[in-house]
């Protein structure tokens, strides 16, 4: 049994912690707004992770300990971050430009009406419609999967693939395991598409995400990034951007091979439209 003094300490401590937590929740909602991110789910019909239109569809993505960088996001009717709703090809009146990519195209760090699709939509005026399809962490192989979805529902006239430095090695399932995305495996000298495993949201993380304080600590203060850096330093690994340099060099030939294979598939599956590849890379090194 607890001694009287221990009971008194708990009697004071527990309410104090509760009050402090409540004040912190208010502070990181209204003074320094903690980063907000939309809910995701796995769409079994198309085998892909999508943003959930049944929950919060508008919010503010913030970066930094003072939330000094902010971007307003909006999840549209098809579950993508966009300032416009999408319409299927059967009822669309204008030719379509589709932009496919990862977090660069997902674009949470800028206002939804200032991302690449929104800017291009203003530039082309009434000549084209512009839709974007961005998924954080997706490699080139997942872009292929996304392009099949885009072709099925929207039939674009022009498809733009935005590629960045980590889109190549991560095509290989045995080297970089991303089970919820389409990847490639080499079997008897031939590349084959891997099985896409359904994504199941972690209920504890979903519950924790409701707390502004926890989101601030984890996302604004980038705790996960700091822990990853500590782990890399312990393992004495060399990273440029988020690429394990030595691992990439050791798999260079296979990375080149699988990238060429994927580009050829993309070309063959999009013969009736214009296809563009954009490329970004670690700019400091360049």
Reference 156, options 130, 195, 194; nearest CA is 130
* Residue 142 pLDDT: 97
CA angle 157, 158, 163 (to 5 degrees): 150
What are the φ and ψ backbone dihedral angles of 69, each rounded to 5 degrees?
Answer: -115, 130
Angle between helices 140-153 and 252-269 (to 10 degrees): 10
Contact status, residue 96 vs residue 156, Cβ threshold 8 Å = yes
* Residue 246 pLDDT: 85
* Residue 14 pLDDT: 80
The pTM (predicted TM-score) of the whole model is 0.90
Strand partners, 163: 279
Contact status, residue 193 vs residue 184, Cβ threshold 8 Å = yes
What is the C-alpha separation between 56 and 202, in angstroms, rounded? Answer: 18
* Residue 202 pLDDT: 87
What is the C-alpha separation between 105 and 120, in angstroms, rounded? Answer: 12
Centre a 10 Å sphere on the Cβ of residue 132 and count the other Cβ atoms it contains: 27
Please state, in angstroms and as integers, the Cα–Cα distance from residue 28 to each residue in 93, 222, 224, 247, following that order.
Answer: 44, 15, 19, 40
* Residue 6 pLDDT: 57
* Residue 278 pLDDT: 93
* Residue 201 pLDDT: 84
What one-character DSSP code corresponds to residue 186? E
pLDDT values of the chain reduced to their tens digit, one per residue, 286 residues: 546 665 566 667 788 888 899 999 999 999 999 999 999 999 999 999 999 999 999 999 999 999 999 999 999 999 999 999 999 999 999 999 999 999 999 999 999 999 999 999 999 999 999 999 999 999 999 999 999 999 999 999 999 999 998 889 999 999 999 999 999 999 998 999 999 999 988 888 888 999 999 999 999 998 877 777 777 767 667 777 778 888 888 999 999 999 999 999 999 999 989 999 999 877 777 6
């Amino acid at each position: 049994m607890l001694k009287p003094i221990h009971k008194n300490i708990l009697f004071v401590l527990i309410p104090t912690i509760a009050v402090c937590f409540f004040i912190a929740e208010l502070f990181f909602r209204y003074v320094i707004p903690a980063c907000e991110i939309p809910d995701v789910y796995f769409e079994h019909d198309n085998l892909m992770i999508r943003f959930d239109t049944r929950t919060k569809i508008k919010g503010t993505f913030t970066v930094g300990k003072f939330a000094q960088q902010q971007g307003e996001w909006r999840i549209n009717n098809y579950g993508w971050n966009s300032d416009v709703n999408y319409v299927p090809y059967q009822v669309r009146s204008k030719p379509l430009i589709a932009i496919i990519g990862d977090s660069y195209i997902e674009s949470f760090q800028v206002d939804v009406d200032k991302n690449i699709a929104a800017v291009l939509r203003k530039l082309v005026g009434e000549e084209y419609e512009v839709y974007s399809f961005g998924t954080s962490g997706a490699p080139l192989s997942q872009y292929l999967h996304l392009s099949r979805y885009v072709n099925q529902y929207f039939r674009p006239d022009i498809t733009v693939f935005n590629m960045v430095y980590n889109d190549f090695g991560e095509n290989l399932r045995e080297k970089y395991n991303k089970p919820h995305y389409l990847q490639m495996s080499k079997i008897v000298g031939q590349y084959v598409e891997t099985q896409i495993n359904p994504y199941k949201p972690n209920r504890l993380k979903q519950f924790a995400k409701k707390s502004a304080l926890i989101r601030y600590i984890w996302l604004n203060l980038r705790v996960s990034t700091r822990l990853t850096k500590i782990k890399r330093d312990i393992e004495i690994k060399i990273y440029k951007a988020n690429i394990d340099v030595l691992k990439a060099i050791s798999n260079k030939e296979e990375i080149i091979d699988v990238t060429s294979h994927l580009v050829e598939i993309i070309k063959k599956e999009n013969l009736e439209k214009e296809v563009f590849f954009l490329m970004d890379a670690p700019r400091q090194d360049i």
